[in-house]
Amino acid sequence: MKKPWSGRFTRRTSGIVESFSESVSFDNRLWRYDIEGSVAHARMLGRQRIISRREAEMIVKGLGEIASEIAAGKFKFKRELEDIHMNIEASLIKKIGPVGKKLHTARSRNDQVALDMRLYLREETKEILSMINKLQKTILEIAGRHVGTVMPGYTHTQRAQPVLFSHHLLVYVEMLQRDKGRFEDCLKRMNVLPLGSCALAGTTLPIDRAYVAKILGFDAVSGNSMDAVSDRDFALEFLSSSSIAASHLSRLAEELVLWSTEEFGLIEISDTFTTGSSIMPQKKNPDVAEIIRGKTGRVYGSLVALLTLMKALPLTYNRDMQEDKPPLFDAVDTLKSCLSVTDAMLPEITFNTERMSNTAGSGYSTATDLAEYLVRKGVPFREAHEITGRVVLYCIRGKKDLQSLELAELKAFSRLISADVFKALDPSRSVTARSSFGGTAPSEVLRQLKYFRKILK
């Protein structure tokens, strides 16, 4: 098949090279955006009288027919045409004749692919934002049912202090809110039109880039033609945001895995989101959560792959850059699947609130409350910390809990301790007392719930 650059060459491209260098096997998913951009470009060419309005309408009509064929699965992509751009252009020329050859006026595949990727990522980013919002609402709904549930909070995976279960869940709503902020910020720099930069230097023809930007819904036009075709910052930024979002899903998944163990016993994941063992009949494995945790590595890998690809490329476009798409597409698919399955799995979890409450006060989790009790009595915190540490050591040696100590035992460590100390040692009271802004007290958790219910509408 004749190549678009055949005028300069005297020998055909090797079949090995065609197979090695083609990208249509993966960039064909950009077809919708390639046609959308080409339609806008054709309309601009006609409006500027670079081609006639009739020719522009012929091109637009032909592109519409090609879009219908691709959508119906009737379009045959040809490897020898390399990529989605040349496949669509060749089909257009075959369909409407020589007029189709005018479509590529005042553009290059360099700015064309940059446009397609921005259009693609813009749509995918908006969908991801919607999916994150939906997941936040799911978590918020579960948190709203557990304002009265006390559980052990952990540091270093050791029981630390009592917290409300709803407070723990709201951590992930906060994380996801930051993720949305990153994707929204990414959209600002993504939504810039590169088309009209041509190969790297612009064009001598009287194009109207602002008109194309308006048609395609871009907020701005790229200011430097060389930067426009060589820039993949928007993709890197998207992958960075995706990696952070995936890490948050992975952390949630990890907690679900831990909490579902017999050792923790805080939750049971539904049979519909677990699997069994091929050899051990009793097993019920949290495989879905584990796979979410594992897929996070793929998203990270996509970011590292693109960073490595771009790290030493001279300006402007280099063919290396066609390898930006596989990791980008994979990251999009992976993140969306993880968001979807997490949102579906969470409502299918049974929460063992009795176990949570029973373990909330164990592990001397109200020791800090005892130290703060002493602080309120006028003891410097460092002294209060040391006194409380000795109380805990006494409990460990005597195999006692803080709450089970007699007043006389406690007063042996400080004469300032009186009967009101037992309020400080109660896990539920401990939680209620932590009413500092952002704390775990019910009043603060209710404030957080109200805030997120309002902004997630």
Our answer to whether residue 222 is catalytic in this structure is no
Question: Are 124 and 245 in a shared domain?
Answer: yes
My answer on whether 121 and 265 are in the same domain is yes
Q: What is the pLDDT of residue 302?
A: 98
Tell me which residue range forms the domain holding 277.
110-148+162-200+222-356
287 in the same domain as 170:
yes
- Would you say the C-alpha torsion 43, 48, 54, 58 has a positive or negative sign? negative
Same domain, 125 and 232: yes
Residue-wise pLDDT for 250-287, tens only, equals: 999 999 999 999 999 999 999 999 999 999 999 999 99
Shared domain check, 277 and 254:
yes
Specify if 214 maps to a domain.
Answer: no
Give the Cα separation of 149 and 170 in Å (integer): 13
Same domain, yes or no: 130 and 262: yes
The number of CA neighbours under 13 Å toward the Cβ of 185 is 11
* Residues 118, 249 within the same domain: yes
In a domain, 215, yes or no: no
Do residues 342 and 131 make contact, with C-beta atoms less than 8 angstroms apart? no
Q: Answer whether 192's CB lies under 8 Å from 220's CB.
A: yes
Q: Which helix (H) or strand (E) holds 404?
A: none
Distance, in Å, from the CA atom of 372 to the CA atom of 424, rounded to the nearest integer, reads: 9
CA distance 261 to 289: 13
Q: What digits encode the pLDDT tens for the residues 297-340?
A: 999 999 999 999 999 999 999 999 999 999 999 999 999 999 99
Number of domains in the chain: 3
Distance from C-alpha of 182 to C-alpha of 175, rounded to nearest angstrom: 11
Assigned domain for 419 exists: yes
In this structure, the answer to whether residues 320 and 181 fall within a common structural domain is yes
Q: Are strands 220-221 and 192-193 parallel, antiparallel or unpaired?
A: parallel
Could you check whether the bond before residue 316 is cis, i.e. omega within 30 degrees of 0? yes
Give pTM, 2 decimals: 0.93
Active-site residue, selected from the candidate residues 130, 277, 337, 435: 277
Q: Is residue 7 part of a domain?
A: no
Considering the domain architecture, whether residues 180 and 191 belong to the same structural domain is answered as yes
Outline where 285-380 has alpha helix (H): 287-310, 325-345, 353-360, 367-376
Whether residue 126 sits in one domain with residue 98: no
Residue 199: per-residue pLDDT: 97
Active site residue 430: no
Query: Among 335, 356, 377, which residue terminates a domain?
Result: 356
Q: Are residues 330 and 375 in the same domain?
A: no
Whether residue 217 lies inside any domain: the answer is no
